[in-house]
Every structure is written in structure tokens, then in C-alpha cells.
A and B are shown apart, each in its own frame.
Chain A
Amino acid sequence: MRARLATGLGGAAGRVSRLTGRGDGSVIGGVLGLRVEPDLLRLLAADREVILVTGTNGKTTTTRLITAALGALGQQVASNAFGANMAAGLASALGRAPQARYAVLETDERYVPAVIDATSPRVVTLLNLSRDQMDRAAEIWLIARRWREALEAAPDTLVIANADDPLIAWAAGAAKQVTWVAAGQRWHEDSWCCPECGSHLSRNGSDWRCHECSFGRPPTPWELDGEAVIDPHGRRRELDLALPGRANRSNAVVALAVADVFGVTPDQALPRLREVKSVAGRYTVVPRGGCTVRLLLAKNPAGWLEAFDVLTAGEGPVLLAVNAQIPDGKDTSWLWDVDYRLLRTRPVYVSGERRMDLAVRLEADEVEFELTDGLDDVVGRIQSGDLDVIANYTAFQHIRTLVGRAE
């Protein structure tokens, strides 16, 4: 009864939040609910098949893809589809779908041990781990160690993990049951050290191993191979997604591996994955003042590499927007881990609260740019044609609000 009352209150607050334009309404409902019933998440997760999705990049998209794939089961699936990924957002998502037997829950990296404890998940999905908002997150090796300990203590949980990321392989390695996926790793700068013994890892193509201890890349039944997925039977299928870029192909392969656990075959899942065209505003294309604007979210160096991967081909204009609010991280040092030189051939516009940091960064990479006051200022300058926007978290949310939240 208390759980039902709590979720009722939370649902009302969520509607107020949406109506007043303050957000998706997916966090505030959970926050109020948790005040009424501290153990709400545990109560709400009981008797459900819970799938947690975590990692530095791709959480929201992978959560969406898994949810889409599980649609083949013909049952309601609860999910925090809008990226509200702390305890409150998870409770809110479950509270809104009391009948759903399945729950796909994106989980903030820092809360993984607590959420494993509260939800006793059937599956935990580990995507990747790299530097991100380091002013408020712990060092990533410490995060990996906490995951490792939590998974070791959850023998009934199946871990689906990206074997191409050594930190992920180490975090998952202590679990009783693991299905390894070769999902690729574009960003290597946080995985030169053996997480087990601290020695230098050696890499050979996609393989990696430590020569000091026995730690190395495990064999992978699921593989991303270029544009295709190879399943555990060795069968190859073209992914042919609507979502762009290598990172999303990687997310899709992970989603296929998760769906398989619940009896959804790749042949059943793939058509559903192909229908996903944008995720919580990411990759959304909107008309604005005569221009066609495409929104890309990039929150950290690895994410920027992925965003550059999916820029519209050619030499079209790009708007870069960077804020440094608490959700973004207050520290903009990471801008110097991104190589901007491939933007030299494009008109580049900068905006956001920390546009001055961007200006100095682009100057160092000899990328010409114009300082602007935001999307409408840029649209006014270029008047027509395509505009790609790459923004970090709160800058992205700001632009989404500006153009309307409809996907």
C-alpha cells in the first residue's frame, strides 16, 4: 500500500514537472516517491526480470534498443527511457509501469552496486568505462573495482560485457556468469594499465593482454564485425540500423545479446532495432529557421570521438555547445583530450557557458570558429542548409527545450 501511494504521488509530481517545462518529469516523481518510501526501488523491482545497463557512453541508447528488442515478447516493458538513471529515476520508471514483468533500467555508473543490491537483476550489461566528469565521479578504476565486488556477490546475475574494454572485462571477470561481446573500443587512453596488477597492457589489433599476470581478453561469442553482427552460432547478419555510427552498432550487438537471454532471436530483434531512429533527442533532426538541425550529444572525450564519426558527410557547418553545470562536470579540462582538427574544413560555431574554453581549444588546433549566442544565432547566420549540433549534457537539454522535446 505504501509503495502504491508513493508512486501515485510521484506520478503527479512528474506531470507537473513536464507541464512546467522543467524536464522529462522522470526524476522528480522518483525523488518524491523515495522520500515517502526509502525502500521503494526494492519493492518496485520485486518479482520482475530486471536488466541493468551501465557504462560511460551508450547507456540511454542501449537501454532503448534492448527495450525495443524485448517488444518481441509482446509484454509491457518498464524503462527509464529518458536517461534519468539514478535511484529516483529508476523507481519512477518502475512506478509508472506496475504491471510490467520486464524492466530495462539505465543505471548511473556510481549507483551500480546499490542498484544491483536493490533490484537483484537477471542481467547486468556493462558497455565501456572511460574518463567522464571526473570532478564528481571517482577514478574509473575504483568504479570498476566496485562493480567487480558487487557482481561477485550476485551469483544469480548474468553479466553481458564488452570484452574489448579491459576495465569492463576486469569488472565482469569476477561474476559467476558472463556472456562476452566484442563490441569494440574506440578510446584506449584509459586502459593502458592492467586493472589486475598495474602493469602495462599490450595490444595487438583488437586483442589485449597483460604479460605480467594472466589477465587477457576473453573469447567472445557475440561480435560486431564492421556493419554486421556475428552470433554465437557464427551466423552473420547485417545490422542496417537507422541510428548512425560505429558506437550505435556496438550498442545494437549488446542489445541482441541481451535479447537472446530472454529467447528473442536476432531475426526477431533486428527489425525492431532498425525502427529506432532517435533516442531521447539524440540524432533528432528538426527544422529551425530555414535550416535542418541534427542534434548529437557528446559528454566526454570518447563520446566526442563517436560524435565526429556521425557528422553529416562533406564540409557542412557544426555548432559546438559546452556547459559546465554539475551534470556536465565543472571541469572542462577534457576538451583538451578531444582532437578537433578534423573540423578544420568546416564552418565551426561555438556556444554554451564555456564557449571561451572551446575558443582557446579550437585556436590551439587551428580550427577557425565564430563565437555565438546559441542555436538561433547560428541559424540566423547560415540561413539555410544542414547544421550538425554537438553539445554536452545540459547544453543539449537546453537546445532540446528550445526546439521542442518531440522526437
Chain B
Amino acid sequence: MGGAAERAGRGPAGLAGPGDDSEDSLMPQHRARHAAPTTDSQLRLVWVYPDLLSTYGDRGNLLVLQRRAQLRGIAVEAIEVNADQAVPAGGDIYLMGGGEDLPQILAARRLAADGGLQAAAARGAVVFAVCAGYQVIGTQFGGVEGEPVQGLGILDVSSGRGDRRGVGEIVADVDPELHVDRLTGFENHQGLTRIGPGARPLARVSLGTGNGDGTEGAYAGRVLGTYLHGPVLVRNTGLADLLLTWATGPLAALDEADEKWAARLRAERLDAVAGQVRAGQ
């Protein structure tokens, strides 16, 4: 596909960003301007609750998906849905990020009442949830004092609170069935997550904590969650392409020039922890 031509016309960053054109666009009224999806020819990326679940760089995942779709000539509509708005039903990929305890609990409560995300997952939309978002789409998670809080039950995982925070670089080898290269990222959480019979581990941990039992993340159908926090797709473009493939079908390869910086970053980060990583599976 003619990726380069697409790029010139409409940049990946042109649709979404905390600043937009005016310095005031962090204000809620600017955020609320996003319209409901209109045409079927676009890939609709729905970022669920950036006001509550975006603790540390979660926007990166939206930007990476947007860029990698547009480089392949796929038009993208990016929709940011705040917690006081309804979650649109017609999205192709729903993104959820990390959050502190109070916003996480509020997000779970709002989403349970809204029902839009559950309906989208039920009809087969892709759901990609990170850290606190990963816990929220499970059946339950730990609240402010560790007390159980009900999740959305979109993914058969159940989380509680561990004794210590897992903080640092994480490396994990992905379920071979998914054909995605080793994950590299950063984790910062105190969750322990148990995977139920309705889901499979996304990966096995080679460095770091992950779910706490040697596995990392989980997936079932087109719903996928991970503890690799913030902009996990930046270093893991294979995972980004997996999500895009689930939404759009097989993808063309990108030009090497378009992969260059991400590949160098990925190699650098894996190299930085090479001495600490257990051998891959």
C-alpha cells in the first residue's frame, strides 16, 4: 500500500495529542469534541477514559497503532472517551491504560454502568488493556486497602494485591501461537493476577514480575491484557501489529526506514537487561 502518500496528507500525530492546536486543549471541553464514529472504511481506535486511566504515557499505544495503520494506508479515526461520556459501540480497537487506585475504581464503576465496552467485546471488537486497565477488564481486583472490587469480567482473570511492588524492566516470551517477538517493557504495579480457565497467559516472564506466577498478561479471543505499562506498543511493534491484524486482517510489512527507530530502541532496551534475563522459552 502507498504508505508514504498517506503519511504526507495526514500525520499519525495529527489526530490526537494532549496539546492539539491550542495550549488549552487539556481542558475537558476540548476533549469532549470527539464525534461518534461515522464511516465504515476507517479503523476506529477508542481510547477508554484517558482522564482516569492514563497514568504514565499510555497515549503512546494510541499513537503507535495510529501510525502503523496509517503507514499501511489504513485511515484511522481516534476517539477519546472520557469517564463522563458513553463508550461508543462501533469501535474496532478499544484501549485502556494504567491508573492509580481511586481512578481505577471509578473507571470500573462507570464502565460497569455504561455497558458499551462489554457489548463491544461481546461482538468481537479488539480490547487491549494495560496495567490497571488489565485488572479492570478481569472479574475482580484489589481496591485502596486491597479489598476486592468487581471488574467487568471481559477477560477471565482475577487480581489481588501482592506484598510488594513490581517495578522495573520486564522481559517476557509470548505464547508461540501468537507469533509475536519477546516483549520488552516497564512494569510498576502491586497486583497479583490469576488466570482462569477462560483465558491463556500472554507470555512467560524472563525478567520481572508480571502476573506474579511466572506468567505475564492474558488473552482470550481478541481481548488482551498486560502489566507492561504505559506505551508498551512502542517497543513491541509486533504486539501492535497483532492487534491491528485482529481488527483488519493480514497486514503489509512496513518499510525498513519506518521501523528503524523503534527497532533500535527495542534492541537497546533488550541489550541493557541482557545479563539479567533468563533464557527464552
A residues sitting closer than 8 Å to B (CB atoms) are 131, 134-136, 139-141, 186-189, 192-193, 195, 198-200, 202-203, 330-339, 341-342, 356-357, 359-361, 363-366
Contacts and interface: CB of A to CB of B under 8 A. Distances in A.
A364 B234 CA distance: 10
Given A339-B19, A342-B19, A364 B13 contact: yes
Ranked 3 nearest A-B pairs via Cβ:
A333-B230, A336-B57, A333-B57
Given A131-B55, A141-B101, A364-B64, A337 B268 contact: no
Interface stretch (B120-128, B196-204, B244-252, B259-267): B259-267
A199 B28 CA distance: 15
Nearest to B11: A366
Given A330-B168, A361-B234, A364-B67, 9 more contacts: A193-B52, A200-B106, A203-B28, A331-B186, A336-B63, A336-B230, A339-B19, A364-B12, A365-B17
Contact of A135 (B20, B26, B188): B188
B105 interface: yes
Given A337-B18, A364-B12, A364-B13, A192 B55 contact: no
21 contacts: A131-B55, A134-B56, A140-B100, A141-B100, A192-B52, A198-B105, A200-B84, A330-B168, A331-B56, A336-B60, A336-B231, A337-B18, A337-B59, A339-B17, A341-B13, A356-B265, A360-B265, A363-B261, A365-B17, A366-B12, A366-B14
Instruction: State which size class the interface on B falls in.
Output: 35 or more
B182 interface: no
Contacts, number: 115
Contacts of B106: 193, 198-200
A331 B228 CA distance: 12
Contacts of A365: 13, 17, 63
A135 B168 contact: yes
A187 B27 CA distance: 9
Contacts of A366: 11-14
B51 A360 contact: no
Contacts of B261: 356, 359-360, 363
B57 A135 contact: no
A189 B262 CA distance: 27
